[in-house]
């Protein structure tokens, strides 16, 4: 069976416990960043389709990994989020823009 996707660190171990052998390689930095973007898209789509909090947690895990790979402290990302929320507002009022006249 072929997958060709980034997986969590313990997945090969879990596969081995099931009596099978995982064929893997360690991604170089450029490939890793590309694979993380693909994984973000995948996890976001899974959350979009299911609405399950577990999928949202997977999305957050990918965001943490992207921050680490790019050397961005998660606190900096949170600061940017807060600044944007302060300047433009969060999404808490559930406003839908239908158009502009």
How confident is the model over 50-84, as pLDDT tens digits? 999 999 999 999 999 999 999 999 999 999 999 99
d(CA 7, CA 25): 11
Q: Which residues contact 34 (CB under 8 A, 6 or more apart)?
A: none
pTM of this structure: 0.88
**pLDDT (average), residues 35-51:** 98
87 pLDDT higher than 90:
yes
Q: Average per-residue pLDDT in the chain?
A: 96
Assign 1 a pLDDT band (cuts: 50, 70, 90). confident
């Amino acid at each position: 069976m072929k997958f060709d996707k980034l997986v969590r660190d313990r997945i090969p171990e879990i596969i081995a416990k099931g009596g099978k052998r995982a064929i893997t390689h360690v991604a170089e930095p450029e490939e890793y960043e590309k694979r993380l973007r693909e994984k973000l898209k995948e996890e976001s789509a899974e959350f979009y389709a299911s609405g399950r909090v577990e999928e949202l947690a997977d999305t957050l895990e990918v965001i943490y990994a992207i921050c680490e790979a790019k050397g961005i402290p998660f606190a900096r990302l949170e600061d940017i989020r807060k600044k944007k929320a302060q300047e433009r507002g969060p999404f808490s009022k559930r406003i839908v823009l239908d158009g502009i006249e």
